[in-house]
Structure 1
Amino acid sequence: MVKVAKFGGSSLANTRQFQKVKAIIEADSTRQIVVVSALGKSQVTDDKITDLLYILYAHMKHGVSYADLWQTIAARFMTVKTELGLQFPMEEALGKLYQEIQKETVSEDYLVSRGEYLTALLMSEYLGFTFVDAKEIIRYGYDGKIDYLATASQFQVYRKKYAKILVPGFYGAYPNQQIKLMSRGGSDVTGAILARVAQATLYENWTDVSGILLADPRLIDRPERVSFATYQELQELSFMGANVLHEEAILPVQEVKIPIQIKNTNCPQDPGTLISETAQTTRHNITGIAGKKGYIALVLGKRQMISEIGFLYRAMEIIKNHEIFIEYILSGYDNVAIILPKKEVELSLYQLMAELKATLHLDSLEILEDIALVVVVGRSAGKNVNLSANVLGILGAAGIDVGLVSQSTAELNIVLGVKRSDFAQTIQKLYAGLVKGGDA
């Protein structure tokens, strides 16, 4: 039995957090593969090391002084080393990195990855695990996709040599050993990839919450915790802004059916949330209510659109040529609403609209701006036959205008488009009605 344990930045913010991680690892001998993020916020006023490194790179490229910024970064690492009494020559490692920065030849991916790299070196000594650089294991092809065969092969080389290994998250390498950074939160993905190639029995993701919550605690006072969820449910919630696990961390373990357990470093005794192929029925049959702001909808209108073969394909092709991601498509008899991230379409919006209207010979083209998307993820459609009616009834009674509605057929998943100004109230009213059974 082997577990992969990944610890996020909040679990590695300072000396006290390092001590908590050590206690967790020593409490279970099957936790033999550890993945760490970079140092997180030690105090509310601090910045994450990853954020500071991104800023430092921007200063470097624009010729802005970064001396004070560098001192802040170096001090964070030195404090952890000194307080834990570690022997790793951090001064030397930092000095070497600073020399590389001054040459202004380092890539952004390389520089930012040093947050995880240096954190992992400290933690590996503290735990007594063997440090293995992620670039030696996590392999990408030149197309930017993970190479599982090469990754598995490299992993086995180190696994045969060492019983317990510690790997920095958030990055891997191309075949030429050039560092490739993942998207933010990518240490979750590193952990999932290693769980897969290690054929782990469980992938533990340690963070600062005791599992998945039914709603954002910034909007709902002490929301209930979800004990069990499916991969699909978690993926939908992650995609729609629930800040629990990187959405790309699910597929690597889902394909080989390795369960994920979300745990709290600060309260390790809490059961957390277990994610697997199937999940037990819950009291509400609701897995979560989440959402994101910052969308617009283009409503394309044309008489008898439904009978025009290839209409939607041509519309999508035009949008694709502008390299814009399509979030959702809601289709009717003679109109279709295409929901797009506002930040991606801002610069080319009017050119895009002109192309759509001219190429598709539209009768109308309307913009719905300042849209927020809210998703209600439930268990099984068969057990929730009244959920969609309840959702719309709750929002109707609250006077919240729902401009867009999309519902899946397999897992009950209702996506609602509301005004940005109604975003918080929508989630509050839905939580009160669906979970609490009353008014917010």
Structure 2
Amino acid sequence: MKVIKFGGSSLASAEQLTKVLNIVKSDATRKFVVVSAPGKRDDSDTKVTDALIAYYKAYKNGDDVSENQNWIIARYQSICDELGIPGTVMANIAADIKALASLPIADNAFLYDTFLAAGENNNAKLIAEYFSENGIKAKYIHPQDAGIIVTPEPGNAQLLQSSYEKINYLNDLEETLVIPGFFGVTEKGQICTFSRGGSDITGSIVAAGVHADLYENFTDVDGIFAAHPGIVDNPASIAELTYKEMRELAYAGFSVLHDEALLPAYRASVPLVIKNTNNPSHPGTKIVAKRAMTGNPVVGIAGDGDFVSLNISKYLMNREIGFGRKVLQILENLGIRFEHMPTGIDDMSVIMRNRYLTKQIEKSVIQNLTESLAPDELYFEKNLSILMIVGEDMNEHIGVTARAAKALANAGINIEMLSQGSSEVSVMFIVKSNQEKSAIKALYQEFF
């Protein structure tokens, strides 16, 4: 029994939905279908989610929203017209889109989430109707009815652990169930979205809740490659990855699958496969708890930019009890999370994402640390990128880090910092952002 999820590009048009129908029809074990909102039909098009954001802004600002409403409704209508879907479902969709403009604005922390979730929610209604009209006994299920009950954290909902028991009842339903991704419902009935890439999270939650044999995540690529194909020409495809390896690669810039989406499937021991809606016969990339050794210590190379390093130096730092705790406490008080923390006896660097910083926050960090710790040196270093070489087989091979460092040196790339965790699943290098692509190419040439 399989849970299958389709991304926005797979659901962008009538042509794509025809492919989706054939994929679901071709395998009777594909009982649970999780869907995103319609994506772009071409580069000049607008995603439905982006149109809903514009609609939300217009409504909140008190502007005329009729143009926003009409565009979104027309987008769904065009799909229905091309597929010959009866008008009853379209009337429901149009009413739902218009009803958003009657929601209370004041003291409504969930307003934005409710607008955004309408993309997935209405697409699920449309797709369930399309399936039913074309030989699949299908049923639309709202996340509240599916048991996807979440914490009241707008834009960052977390599934309540008790929800898995509720979700399991879906196995008792006979129909092929079409479930909108990206959001859940709080215990008080508020719509609350997951973080970015949230439809992947919904698919993983449903797969874990119904104890699926496989979670198939359909997108627009033939699986996962050993490096970004926009940087490396024709990179090798990866047949199989472990959850740990995928988590490291997703963190460091592999955007095929949201890293949070791995957790529910991982904990439930549900294998996951990335497949291509446009090439469904391709085996894709399977993500499993354990895999056979490949012989190559590195399975993938990833890079991500826009990092900042907070560098702190103080003579005899290592003798001060609680020094690190004080640094992290100040960052926590300012709402900043850290990513990595390489240290020496008199030096500490705290790596964080630049998006958490403003000039005012930077000033507060410097001021608070100076007052609390009296460091000898304290400054921010910007325009940094993180590179990861990833592979669970690395702990069986000597000299992997040396090979990587030599490859970077031969390419004229300076390593600002490096770090390796105790699990030996990955080695992290920090370089200047303007050298990120050259570094990825050098590392790929060395290991592949």
SS in 1 for 2:342: strand
The amino acid of 1:148's aligned partner reads Q
Matched residue, 1:139: 149
Cα distance in structure 2, aligned partners of 1:230 and 1:427 = 21
Output one character per residue of 1:39-83: Cα deviation in whole Å (capped at 9) or x when no partner: 011112112111211122112212344433333222221111111
Matched residue, 1:354: 367
- After TM superposition, the structure 1 stretch with the greater mean CA deviation from structure 2, 98-107 or 78-87, is 98-107
Cα distance in structure 2, aligned partners of 1:131 and 1:36 = 11
The question of 1:219 aligning with 2:218 is answered no
TM-score by length of 2: 0.93
Matched residue, 2:422: 409
Structure 2 vs 1, CA of residues 392 and 212 (structure 1 numbering), >3 Å: closer, same or farther?
A: same
Cα distance in structure 2, aligned partners of 1:283 and 1:266 = 31
- For residues 82-93 of structure 1, the aligned pairs below 5 Å read 82-93=81-92
Output one character per residue of 1:57-111: Cα deviation in whole Å (capped at 9) or x when no partner: 1122123444333332222211111111112524422432343233353711111
Cα distance in structure 1, aligned partners of 2:246 and 2:237 = 13
Matched residue, 1:29: 28
The question of 1:38 aligning with 2:30 is answered no
- For residues 283-432 of structure 1, the aligned pairs below 5 Å read 283-346=295-358, 347-432=360-445
The question of 1:234 aligning with 2:238 is answered no
The runs of 5 or more residues in structure 2 that have no matched partner are 106-110, 133-137
SS in 2 for 1:148: coil
Matched residue, 2:274: 262
SS in 1 for 2:67: helix
The amino acid of 1:278's aligned partner reads K
Q: Report the alpha carbon displacement of residue 142 of structure 1 after superposing the two structures with TM.
A: 4.2
Output one character per residue of 1:237-268: Cα deviation in whole Å (capped at 9) or x when no partner: 11112111111111111112110111111111
Q: Is the 8 A contact 1:371 1:420 kept in 2?
A: yes
Matched residue, 2:199: 187
The amino acid of 1:115's aligned partner reads G
The amino acid of 1:241's aligned partner reads G
Q: Name which of 183, 193, 202 aligns with 1:171.
A: 183
Structure 2 vs 1, CA of residues 384 and 47 (structure 1 numbering), >3 Å: closer, same or farther?
A: farther
Q: Is the 8 A contact 1:285 1:379 kept in 2?
A: yes
The amino acid of 1:41's aligned partner reads K
Matched residue, 2:131: 127
The question of 1:3 aligning with 2:2 is answered yes
Structure 2 vs 1, CA of residues 86 and 264 (structure 1 numbering), >3 Å: closer, same or farther?
A: same
Q: Is the 8 A contact 2:167 2:206 kept in 1?
A: no
Q: Is the 8 A contact 1:380 1:410 kept in 2?
A: no
Q: Name which of 156, 161, 168 aligns with 1:148.
A: 161
Structure 2 vs 1, CA of residues 323 and 21 (structure 1 numbering), >3 Å: closer, same or farther?
A: same
Give the number of aligned pairs: 433
Matched residue, 1:115: 119
Q: Report the alpha carbon displacement of residue 281 of structure 1 after superposing the two structures with TM.
A: 2.3
Q: Report the alpha carbon displacement of residue 296 of structure 1 after superposing the two structures with TM.
A: 1.1
Cα distance in structure 2, aligned partners of 1:165 and 1:36 = 11
Q: Report the alpha carbon displacement of residue 164 of structure 1 after superposing the two structures with TM.
A: 2.0
Matched residue, 1:72: 71
Matched residue, 2:256: 244
TM-score by length of 1: 0.94
Output one character per residue of 1:207-249: Cα deviation in whole Å (capped at 9) or x when no partner: 1111111111111122111111110111111111211111111
SS in 1 for 2:96: helix
SS in 2 for 1:102: helix
Output one character per residue of 1:390-435: Cα deviation in whole Å (capped at 9) or x when no partner: 1111111111111111112213311111111111111112112221
Matched residue, 2:293: 281
SS in 1 for 2:165: helix
Cα distance in structure 1, aligned partners of 2:367 and 2:268 = 46
Cα distance in structure 2, aligned partners of 1:285 and 1:84 = 48
Cα distance in structure 1, aligned partners of 2:299 and 2:25 = 32
Structure 2 vs 1, CA of residues 5 and 94 (structure 1 numbering), >3 Å: closer, same or farther?
A: closer
Q: Is the 8 A contact 1:139 1:151 kept in 2?
A: no
- After TM superposition, the structure 1 stretch with the greater mean CA deviation from structure 2, 276-285 or 397-406, is 276-285
Cα distance in structure 2, aligned partners of 1:95 and 1:290 = 42
Structure 2 vs 1, CA of residues 432 and 381 (structure 1 numbering), >3 Å: closer, same or farther?
A: closer
Q: Is the 8 A contact 2:152 2:192 kept in 1?
A: no
Cα distance in structure 2, aligned partners of 1:305 and 1:380 = 36
Q: CA RMSD in A?
A: 1.7
Output one character per residue of 1:150-194: Cα deviation in whole Å (capped at 9) or x when no partner: 3432540x4323342110100110012111111121010101111
The amino acid of 1:390's aligned partner reads R
The amino acid of 2:7's aligned partner reads G
Cα distance in structure 1, aligned partners of 2:84 and 2:387 = 48
Cα distance in structure 2, aligned partners of 1:405 and 1:297 = 13
The share of aligned pairs that are identical, in percent, is 32
The amino acid of 1:101's aligned partner reads L
The amino acid of 2:189's aligned partner reads Q
The runs of 5 or more residues in structure 1 that have no matched partner are 436-440
SS in 2 for 1:188: helix
Matched residue, 2:108: none
- After TM superposition, the structure 1 stretch with the greater mean CA deviation from structure 2, 68-77 or 28-37, is 68-77
Q: Report the alpha carbon displacement of residue 379 of structure 1 after superposing the two structures with TM.
A: 2.5
Matched residue, 1:19: 18
Matched residue, 1:438: none
SS in 1 for 2:162: helix
- For residues 94-105 of structure 1, the aligned pairs below 5 Å read 94-103=93-102, 105=104
Matched residue, 1:61: 60
